[in-house]
Amino acid sequence: MIVDDLIRDEGFRPYAYRDSEGYLTIGIGFLIDPEHKGRVPMPKNVAMLWLLDILNGRKKELDQRLPWWRDLDADRQRALLNMSYQLGVTGLLKFQRMLVALKAKDYYNAAKEALDSKWAKQTPARAKRVATLLRGEEHETIGNQESR
């Protein structure tokens, strides 16, 4: 499920492009060296391997820095993985009030704190989907909403 979320949110592009912040990016939202200039396409199967490798790294880092995250249900783990994929674990840790609320099982306020952020303003559709996961709400249209 998290892989499907990230492919929907990041999209797949075999050539380098500038993301919403102007950073050179390729594949499934992978930041690359500015010297790359998009001349070499990235096959989707390579992007998938890279995505899975990054996700495994994020899980290990979350295990070290937020050991309680494994006590959350699958949807809330998915939400944290989605945010850490986009922002890095260090970026995720800046959401201190959200994390305090999440650890306390105050899911409504965890979602509220996620949505009250620069991140949510930059990627509103994604933030709304993640907030839905944080609240624990099943939402039939989650897979049909616009990306980013």
pLDDT recorded at residue 142 = 45
Q: Which ranges of the chain have pLDDT less than 50?
A: 140-148
- CA–CA distance, 146 with 137 (Å, rounded to integer): 18
Q: Quote the pLDDT of residue 38.
A: 60
Assigned domain for 74 exists: yes
**Helices and strands per DSSP (H, E), number in the chain:** 7, 3
pTM score of the predicted model = 0.77
Q: Which of 138, 137, 135, 68 is nearest to 107 (CA)?
A: 135
Collapsing DSSP states into helix, strand and coil, what is residue 85?
helix
Tell me whether residue 10 is in a domain.
Answer: yes
Residue 145 lies in a domain: no
The pLDDT tens digits of the residues spanning 113-134 come to: 999 999 999 999 999 999 999 9
12 assigned to some structural domain:
yes
Residues with Cβ within 8 Å of 65's Cβ and at least 6 positions away in sequence, in order, are: 89, 93
Other C-beta atoms lying within 10 Å of the C-beta of residue 47? 20
User: Which range marks the domain in which residue 78 is found?
Assistant: 2-135
Are the beta carbons of 27 and 50 closer than 8 angstroms?
A: yes
Q: Is residue 125 a part of any domain in this protein?
A: yes
**Is residue 61 in some structural domain?**
yes
Rounded Cα gap, residues 90 and 64, in angstroms? 12
CB 4 within 8 A of CB 24: no
Per the structure, the count of domains in the chain is: 1
Does residue 142 lie within any of the structural domains?
A: no
Q: Domain with 94 in it: what CATH number? A: 1.10.530.40
Beta-carbon-side half-sphere exposure of residue 60 (alpha carbons within 13 Å): 6
Residue 147 located in a structural domain: no
Residue with tokens 């001349």: 39
Decide: 39 and 29 in contact? Cβ < 8 Å: no
Check residue 19 and give its pLDDT: 84
